[in-house]
Each structure stands twice: as structure tokens, then as C-alpha cells.
Amino acid sequence: MALLPFSPESKLPLVRANLGSYTYPSASSPILRDVNLSILGGSLTLVTGPSGAGKSTLLRCINGLVPHFSGGLIQGKIEVAGLDPVQASPQQISNVSVLFSRIRNLNLCSPV
């Protein structure tokens, strides 16, 4: 197990993204364009916007689901806790979690 070089008290960005674009494999145009963000460790960050704006896609890019499971083309750079989710394996980036807005539909604990 590797310890991340970040703590909730850190003033260093935990997430940095400088994306030119992301395009799904079957899409003719990018869903994300010109995304630049920096999120400090320990902060609470909300991603809001209308349906279809790319909120879920952005979060999937941050937690490594894109492109490992969705495919597609990312142009630009993402860094999460010092790792590039595009280059890192899903196991390496698996400590990144996303909570979507329909929390009633989530199973947060599995029965043992």
C-alpha cells in the first residue's frame, strides 16, 4: 500500500486538470473542452450544470474510469494525488471516489 503525499490539511492541489478536450469513442465532437481546474486536498467541491454538460464525464476522467473503461481520446493533462489517471492503472487510482447526486440509488455498504 502506498501513502499519498497529500493530507486534508495540505494546501497543495489534490486534483489538477488542464484538458483541451475529451471525446467519447463514438462521438463526432468532444463532450469536454477547455477544462482547467485545481482542487485542494480536504476541500468540498461541487460540480454543477445542466444535463449533458459533461459533469459526470469530468468526474470519470478524474477517477480514471475514462479512458480505462469508456475509451475515447483525452487531450491534455489530469493529475490526482500525484498520479495521472490516464497512465495509472485502475488499481493505482482506485482511492478516488465520486458521489453522484442520486444518492438514494447508491449502495454505500455491501452486506457481509
Q: Mean pLDDT score of the chain, rounded to an integer?
A: 80
Q: What is the pLDDT of residues 34-73, one digit of tens each?
A: 999 998 877 778 888 888 889 889 988 988 888 888 899 9
Does a structural domain hold residue 28? yes
Higher-confidence residue of 65 and 23: namely 23
Does a structural domain hold residue 99? no
User: How many structural domains does the chain have?
Assistant: 1
The reported pLDDT for the residue numbered 73 is 92
> Minimum mean pLDDT among 6-20, 24-38, 46-60, 69-83: which range?
6-20
Does a structural domain hold residue 100? no
**Overall average pLDDT of the 21-38 stretch:** 94
Domain of residue 17, residue span: 13-86
Cell of 6: 497529500
Quote the Cα angle for 34-63-73, to 5°: 50
| Sequence-separated (6 or more) residues with CB below 8 Å from residue 72 | 22, 23, 24, 25, 27, 66
* CATH, residue 56: 3.40.50.300
**Overall average pLDDT of the 12-36 stretch:** 92
Does a structural domain hold residue 6? no
- Percentage of residues of the chain with pLDDT beyond 70: 74
pLDDT grade for 7, boundaries at 50, 70 and 90 = low
Does a structural domain hold residue 92? no
